[in-house]
Amino acid sequence: MAAARARQAQLVKPPGSLGRLEDLAVWLAGVTGSERPVLQARVVVAAADHGVAAQGVSAYPQAVTAQMLATFGSGRGAVSTLAGAAAADLVLVDAGVAGGSEGLDCLRLGLAPSRDL
């Protein structure tokens, strides 16, 4: 971490001008053991359904949630394009999709859709 602090002092910027970001950079260097750690950006999209849709207040039925996850996973969604442009991994999470996410490349939390919020 001392090497990371020394590196921060050598950068062309007023000391401390990046605030918490400088502390985070030093912490990350300590955690990874690298003065200049390399990170892989990730975009996480968590999807779930709730019971409010059954009351007719949603513009789309619950079936659309699983379809949107499939669209994102196929690379055809806006978030997929943005993640690709940022060279970020796209991580899809089924946090309670009513239609299920079987056959999709996503992390399943094992949560059931809520009945009412």
Of 43-47, 68-72, 100-104, 112-116, where does mean pLDDT reach its minimum? 112-116
99-112 tens-digit pLDDT = 778 888 999 998 88
In which band, very low, low, confident or very high, does the pLDDT at 78 lie, cut at 50, 70 and 90? very high
Q: Which pLDDT score is estimated for 11?
A: 87
Which pLDDT value is given to residue 9? Answer: 85
Does this model's pTM top 0.85? My answer is no
pLDDT at 115: 66
CB 56 within 8 A of CB 9: no
In this model, does residue 77 exceed pLDDT 90?
yes
88, 43 Cβ separation under 8 angstroms:
yes
Higher pLDDT: 117 or 88? It is: 88
